[in-house]
Structure formats: structure tokens, C-alpha cells
Structure 1
Amino acid sequence: MTRTLYQKLVDTHTVAQLDSDNVLLFADLHLLNEYTSPQAFAGLDERGLRTLMPGQNVATVSHIIPTRPDHLRIIQDTDSALQASNLKRNCDLHGIPLFDTNDALQGIEHVIAPEHGMIRPGMVVICGDSHTTTYGALGALGFGIGTTEVEHVLATQTLVYRLAQNMRIRVDGNLPHGTTAKDLVLMIISRIGAQGARGFVVEFCGTAIEALSIEARFTLCNMAVEAGARGGLIAPDQKTAEYVLQRAPDLALNPDWRQAAIADWQALRSDEDAVFDIEHVFAAEDVAPFVTWGTSPDQAIPITGHIPTCTEDGIEKQSAERALRYTGLTAGMLLEGLPVEHVFIGSCTNGRIEDLRAVIETIGDRKVAPGVRAMVVPGSGAVRMQAEEEGIAAKLIAAGFEWRKPGCSMCLAMNDDVLAPGTRCASTTNRNFEGRQGRDSITHLMSPAMAAAAAVTGKITDVRKLVKQ
């Protein structure tokens, strides 16, 4: 029987078939953070249980952590500090490795896990965070779970898992000058809708996908969940193998293991005649720099486009009208030229070294525009150190950007980095929901290059006008 890549990953991790729709799934790696784990650990304690496989669990503090460039990071908020201290106590008690508040390599879970070689093709990786879909970039099945499920995984290293349907999205051709994986995924979400992949695991394929770097693939799979997907996958290739082997000392030191691993990874692809429930096809040439205008990632248009007018009655029209009221915009407007007061560059979507290099390429010798506050928050301590070694940090500071310490920061404002009401922000994050970056704040999602262009011009700007081909 022919199988999709998704089905193969589920098959190799199924401990038991519970019924036609559900299996007991084994997790190779379980990632924990400070805000979805406390109740799970409390549940274990109440039942007198300990983590079954502590070595296959890893924790980090990232959502609540301050990113001010102080020498020592101290969480001032009482509730947040308690979350961090509870995570450390629980990890110590259960023997789980922790990237704690002042660990030099601390960072966002979806950045540190791949960069430290924790993610391998063929794995099942789960976490109490929806953007666990990121790991599909390496041919691993990643998905987010709830707190009750976190407790179950800690106790058993398994999860009762409802099977998803299969979707394939093919993108062929070459991304045009000035466009990135962020623009591509915003275009896809705008086309299929915020619920367009609900109930599906999406496999991305095509020549445009093959041409993407691994870090660009992380961006693509990270935001698959914004279309409602339960996972995003890309079949491993030579780029995947090179990325993983550079970060896997156990495989680098053992040639036999390395050869066996590569052979296994090469088999991780959908069969030629595998059946997908839904398929979409897009042309890379149609991608332009995209920007969101509303309060959902699917409310996005090319920088040269006009905010659409919704003529059909129903939920979509109501949502559009509410979004326009919230953002203070009107149908028919161009986004290009819209002034911004804040720029945020970072998050698990776009906080990696390639993203920061794109920012530097965009700004050139320019400075942050008067009246704009621009923040750059690396996704991890390792990214921060690399950016400083490459001279990126010094150039950012010289241009007027704030160079911060790693963390989730203003992606979701569960920390000190919060936008004031009414502030309009050009952001490289993954969600533009109402109040996501601060109560009554307004978020426009875009690529790092586009955000950098906004920072130095003070308005939403077509990056192609700053960086000539």
C-alpha cells in the first residue's frame, strides 16, 4: 500500500491502534516551556509519578523572559518569576535538561532544538506550543499539544493522537527578487485561508521548496499552523542531511551510524503514487513581498495590492470589517507608505541568523527613521553570539536598532516587551491577532527584509525599492 511521508512517520511511531481514527503515538522528543508545563508537573506529583524518559525531554524558559541587554537577566514580574523557578524545580526533580534564564544558549524552543542537533529526520517531536510544526522542515513530524497531553507525555512518552488528513502543496519556479519564504507562506495562507488546512498535515514540495535554505524551510513550516494545519512537512534532501550532520556529533564520530542515518533519511518521502486528500499548486513567480492588513495571517496582500473589499455577506465580511475597524484602515487602501511607530524583528518564525543577515543587507548604510523604535531579538543565545561574531550586532546598533537578548519577546507580549495601545508595528512574527503584541496594538506581519525597510523609512515600504537586483 502506498503511503505519504506523513503516514510513514505515524506508522513508525504507532505503539497501538486505538480505533480507526486514533493511535497511541510515541514521541522521540518532548519540548517543554515555562507556561504550558506547570499544571502537567503538578498532575504527576499528585499521582506520585515521575517522567518516564527524562532524557527525551528538554525544557527552556523563553516566553516570559525579559530581553533587555542587561548582564544578568532577572524576571521582575512575580507570576512570571514563579513560572521560571517552578520549571527549574520540576526539571531538577525529574532529571530533565533545562536551558534556564541565564544559560548562554537559552532561547526559543523552536530555534534551539534544531540548532543543537536535537531534531533528526523521521522523528516525532511534540511541545505545548502550536509552532512545533517548525520541525517539519527537517522531515520530522512536529505538532503542538495541550497541558493535559503534556502530562501524559511526561508520564508515558506517548500521546493519544487523532490521525490527520493529507494535503500536498506544490510550489515550482523561482522566488522573485525581494521575496522570501515568509512572503511565500503569507501568500499561501491568504489563498487557502486561516482554516484552509484545518485537520490536515501539509507536505510542501516542488522546485521552489527544494531551493529554499533550511532556515527558510523552518519559516514555512512554522507558519503552516496559521492555515490551521496540524503539521507541515518537507521531505529530507541533501541540504537536510548537511544541516543535521553539522549539528550531530554522535553521527559525525561514527561513520557507520552516519551512513545508516542518511540511508534512512533518503527513504523519508511520499511514494510516487501516494494519495493526498487535497492538493494545491502555486507558482513561485506569483510571489511578491506580502504584508498583512487585518487581524489574521490570511488577511494579507502583496505590497503593491489594495486592501480588498468583501462584498459577500457572512462571517468573512464581518471578520474583515472588524479587522479594518481595529487596524484603522479602509478597503481599497494601499499599505505601502503607511507610517509605523515600531519595528520588531525576531520570534521562532524569523529570529535566525539568515534573517538577521537579510536585515543588514536591506538597511545598508541607512539609519532607523526618526520616531521609530526598532528592536532585534535573536532567537537564541547561539544566534546572538554568531551575529556578534559576524559584526551584524554592531551594524544594527550603529543604525539605531536595539540589540536585545534572546527570547519570544514581543511576539506575544507575555514579558516586558509590550506595545502601547494604538502603536502600529511592522513585525516578523507569526500572528497579528487583536492585542497579540499589546492591548489595542496593531501588527503588520512581513519578512525581516520588509521589516528592516520599514525601520529605515518609517513606513511600510517595498523592499525591492531599497535593495536593487
Structure 2
Amino acid sequence: MSKTLFDKVWDSHVVRKIEDGPDVFFIDRHFIHEVTSPVAFLGLKSRGNSVLYPEKTFATADHNTPTIDQHLPVADPLSANQLKALEENAKEWGISHWGLGHRKNGIVHVVGPENGITLPGSTIVCGDSHTSTHGAFGAIAFGIGTSEVEMVLSTQCIMQPKPKRMRINIHGTLGLGVTPKDVALYIISRLTTSGATGYFVEYAGDVFENMTMEGRMTVCNLSIEMGARGGMIAPDEKTFDYIKGRTYTPKGAEWDKAMTYWETLYTDKNAIFDKEYNFNATDIEPMITYGTNPGMGMGITNKIPEAHTIGGGESTYKKSLNYMKFDEGQDMIGKKVDYVFLGSCTNGRIEDFRAFTSLIKGRKKAENITAWLVPGSHEVEDQIKEEGLLDIITEAGFMLREPGCSACLAMNADKIPAGKLAVSTSNRNFEGRQGPGSRTLLASPLVAAATAVTGVVTDPRTLLKEEAIA
């Protein structure tokens, strides 16, 4: 019987099926951080349970960590307590812990792949929505709640109903200045934030096959923003080349054994999906959001849609635009911006910094812009320095901060002030997401870079064309 990639991985991890109920599902890798794990550990202790497989859980501090002066004590008492609790719980239960000051520290969905913890055909969970990032490797990865974190710690299993299957195909070649972030925002704008609810998505077609692993991670990261349980891409030679030789990947004969399995991880020719979409790469241009959810996005050269064209929910739509201080029919290009944020588990990898610096090179930061450039890990930070990108950043008038989630969700000091407008490479633009009263425009690293040097929302293609002419 023909199977989808998702079915192959899911079915091989079902420990027990419950009639008319969820599957008991085995978890290969479990990531924890300082925000969702403390209560889970308290529940574990109150029940007299222990961590069943501590070697399968990996802890890193990222959400609450400061991005400047990380060598100093954390000033915020709540953040400091959560970071201390993570360290103590990891030590008590023998769990690998990469806290502040550790060279492997960074955003959980950045350091996992960097260290080869994320592997094809594996099942991965974390108490974080954007765990879907790891699906770029052909893994089933999704976020879980605090009670489920406790369940995985104590049993290495979780109870989950099997999602339906969706495939999104995009064929063709992406145009100038169009990045994986734009591809993801385009899909969400077409499906809406609930269009994939109840589904696990497989991305297929020329566009995804031609993407780098970092680009694939960006796309899978944003799967949750259209309501999907997760997203995945079939592993290929790019996948295997990326993970080979990393700290936690199999070595020698174990690698050969793993490859025998990994090479079976693809969707069979006649496999059936519950829903399927097809898009053309040529229809995608650099994207930007204009509202208060990731589905409210459009090509950067378009005008903000009129309420009557959106098909229902007009009062909510107008409320969103009112919060953003925008009007129907307005252009986004040329709007004055206050902040630019490059980073997060969506766009905090080395390729994102390469893209950003490619546009700011030889230019200067606009005077009205406050920019936070935050690498996703110390490894990314080291690469930025080794490749000479830090010199470009500094010469253009920017400053590189230290690794962490930063202004993605503003759980540390990196908060956009009320009323200020930010172009952000992160994943959510909800009201107050980047700070109480803040206003967020989601965009790619190229759009962020173009905006950072002009001071207004700018189509990066205009700068790229200038460079081509020069």
C-alpha cells in the first residue's frame, strides 16, 4: 500500500492504538527550555515519577535570556528564577543542559539541527509552537503543552490523534529577492491562519527541492501559523550532507544503517493526501504583513485590501487595521518604520545574516531605525565573525547582539515600545507580541535589510537592481 512520508514516520512510532481515541506515540527527541519546563518538573515530582530517558531530552535557555551582557546576572527576577530552575532540574535528572555561557547555547530550534539532534524520520516535541521547524529534515515535529512535557519526561510517549495529510506543491523558479520566508508568508496568506487546521503538511515541488536546509527550516517553522500541526519536507542529499559529522549524528556503521532507513523516507508515487494545493513560484514576490496575524500578508508592491474583498469578518479586519494605524487601500512601501529585528527561530541562522549583510554592505543604517540583530546561537555568532559579516554590520552602523529569542516574543528586555512600528523577521505579528502596544510587520531578512538602510518599508528588489546596474 502506498504511503505518504508522514504516514511512514507516524506509523513506525505508534506504540499502541486506542480504539476511537488517540495513538500512544513514541518520541525520539525532546527539547525543553526555561519557560514551559519548570511546572512539568514540579508535576513529575509531585507524582513521584522520574525521567525515563534523560539522554533523549535536551535543555537550552532561550526565551528569557538577555541579548546583551549575558555574562552578568539576569536582572529580571522571574527570568532568573526560570533559568535557575531549568539548570537545577537538568542537573537533578541527568539531562544535557546548555545554559547561558555555554558555547552550544541558543534558540532551541536553531541549536537542535546545528548539533545533529534533529534527524530524518524522527519524532520531536518541545513545549514551543515552532517545533515544526525540525520537519525540514523529514521528521515529525510539533509543539506540546506543559502537561504533555511532563508526560514525555516520564514515559517518552505522548497521546495524539493522528492528523490528516496535506501536500502543498510549488513549482517553478523564485524571482529576484524572493526568499523562503516570502514563500511561507505567501502560503499563509492564501490558506489563512486556519487553512491547515487538523493537518500535517508536506511541502513538495521544485521550490522546496531547490531550497537550502536553512530555507526549508524557515518554511516548516511557519507551518503552525496556518493552523497546521506541523510541516515536513522529504530528506534528500542536501539533508544528509547537512547533518553528516555533527555532534549527535550517527557515525561509521551506525551512519550506514541510518542511511538505509532515511533513504526510504519519501512519499510513494500513488499515496493519497486528504487535501492538496498547487502554487506557482512566479506568483510570489517579497511579502509583508499589514495586520495582526500572519495570514494578513501580501506582496510588498500591493495595496492593503479593502474590507469588502476579504470575505467575512469585516469588523475584526477593520479593528486589526485600526490597531496597526493603517487604512484600506494604502501602500505599504514608504511607510516609516521605527525598529528592525533580524533573528528568531524563523530567521536567526547564518544564511539570514548573509542575506541581510548582502544588502547593507556599503550602505548606512537609517537614523530613524533602531535595529536588533540577534543570532540564533553562538555557532551562528561565530560564523558571522569568521565570514567577515560582523565587519559589514559594524561599518553600516549596526550592532550584533548575543543569542536568544529576543524581540520575537519580548520575554526579555528586547521590547518594541507602544505605538512603534517594527519590521520583524520573526513568526508572529499579534497585538503586543513584540511588546505591549507594539506594531509588527513580518518580512524576510532582505526586506528587513532594505528597510533598515532606508528607514521606510522598502522593496529589496529596488536595491538589488541598483547593485546589478552598478
- Aligning the two structures, in what range does the TM-score lie when normalised by the shorter sequence? over 0.9
Measured in 1, the distance between the counterparts of 2:75 and 2:390 equals 26
Q: Does 1:428 align with 2:388?
A: no
Q: Where does structure 2 lack aligned partners over 5 or more consecutive residues?
A: none
**1:217 matched to which residue of 2?**
216
Which of 444, 449, 455 lines up with 2:446 in the alignment? Answer: 449
- The structural deviation recorded for 1:310 is 2.0
Counterpart among 383, 398, 406 of residue 401 in structure 1: 398
Letter in 2 for 1:427: S
Kindly provide the amino acid, as one letter, of the partner of residue 13 in structure 2: H
Tell me the amino acid that sits aligned with residue 27 of structure 2.
A
Deviation at 1:251?
A: 3.3
Contact 1:55 1:96 (C-alpha < 8 Å) held by counterparts: yes
- The alpha carbon displacement at 1:21 in A equals 4.5
Say if 1:113 and 1:119, in contact at 8 Å, map to a contact too: yes
Q: Which runs of 5+ in 1 are unaligned?
A: none
Other-structure match for 1:134: 133
Letter in 2 for 1:306: K
Residues 274-311 of structure 1 deviation map (CA, whole Å, 9 limit, x = unaligned): 11011000001111000000000010011110100121
Q: CA RMSD in A?
A: 1.3
Write the distance in 1 (CA, Å) between the matches of 2:84 and 2:250: 35
Equivalent position amino acid for 1:103 in 2: H
Shift of 1:5: 1.0
Matched, 1:334 2:331: yes
How far apart, CA to CA, are the structure 2 residues paired with 1:314 and 1:358? 36
Whether contact under 8 Å (2:360, 2:392) holds in the other structure is: no
Structure 2 CA distance for aligned equivalents of residues 290 and 122 of structure 1: 32
Residue of structure 2 equivalent to 1:76? 75
1:367 corresponds in structure 2 to: 364
- Tell me if the contact between 1:66 and 1:73 (Cα under 8 Å) persists in the aligned partners: no
Deviation at 1:246, TM superposition (A): 3.6
* 2:266 paired residue among 264, 269, 272: 269
| Equivalent residues in 2 for 1:84-163, closer than 5 Å | 84-163=83-162
Change (3 A) 1:268 1:423: same
User: How far 1:134 sits from its partner (Å)?
Assistant: 0.3
What's the TM-score, normalizing by structure 1? 0.97
Question: For the residues of structure 1 that align with 2:239 and 2:104, how far apart are their CA atoms?
Answer: 23
Is the CA contact (8 Å cut-off) linking 1:374 and 1:400 kept in structure 2?
Answer: no
1:363 CA drift (Å)? 1.1
Identity of aligned residues (%): 44
Cα distance change, pair 248–103 in 1 and its aligned pair in 2 (3 A)? closer
1:371-399 residue CA offsets vs partner (Å, 9 max, x unmatched): 21111000001100111111112211221
Please say if residues 21 and 163 of structure 1, whose CA atoms lie closer than 8 Å, have aligned partners that are also in contact: no
Matched-pair contact (CA < 8 Å) for 1:73–1:102: no
When normalised by structure 2's length, the TM-score is 0.97
- Alignment check: 8 A CA contact 2:291 2:324 kept: yes
Matched residue type, 2:169: R
Question: Contact 2:361–2:396 at 8 Å: present in 1 too?
Answer: no
Q: Secondary structure at the match of 1:251?
A: coil
Kindly tell me: are residues 133 and 367 of structure 1, through their superposed partners in 2, closer, same or farther at Cα, counting changes over 3 Å? same
**Partners of 2:243 and 2:249 within 8 A in 1:** no
What SS is found at the alignment partner of 2:12? helix
Partner Cα distance (1:238, 1:21) in 2: 38
Q: Which amino acid aligns with 2:454?
A: T
- Other structure's SS at 1:403 match: coil
C-alpha distance in structure 1 between counterparts of 2:332 and 2:135, whole Å: 32
Alignment of 1:175-194 (within 5 A): 175-194=174-193
User: Could you tell me which residue of structure 1 aligns to residue 164 of structure 2?
Assistant: 165
1:15 aligns with 2:54: no
Residue-by-residue CA offset, 1:117-137 (whole Å, 9 max, x unaligned): 101100000000010000110
CA contact (8 A) 1:152 1:159 kept: yes
**Structure 2 CA distance, aligned partners of 1:300 and 1:37?**
33
Q: Given that residues 342 and 374 in structure 1 are in contact (C-alpha distance below 8 angstroms), is that contact kept between their aligned partners in structure 2?
A: yes
Superposed CA offset, 1:404-433 (max 9, x none): 000000000000100111110010000000
The CA deviation at 1:20 is: 3.9
Name the CA distance, whole Å, in 2 between partners of 1:94 and 1:421.
Answer: 42
Q: Distance in 2 between matches of 1:366 and 1:167?
A: 43
Deviation at 1:319, TM superposition (A): 2.4
Contact kept in structure 1, 2:416 and 2:435, CA below 8 Å: yes
1:419 matched to 2:416? The reply is yes
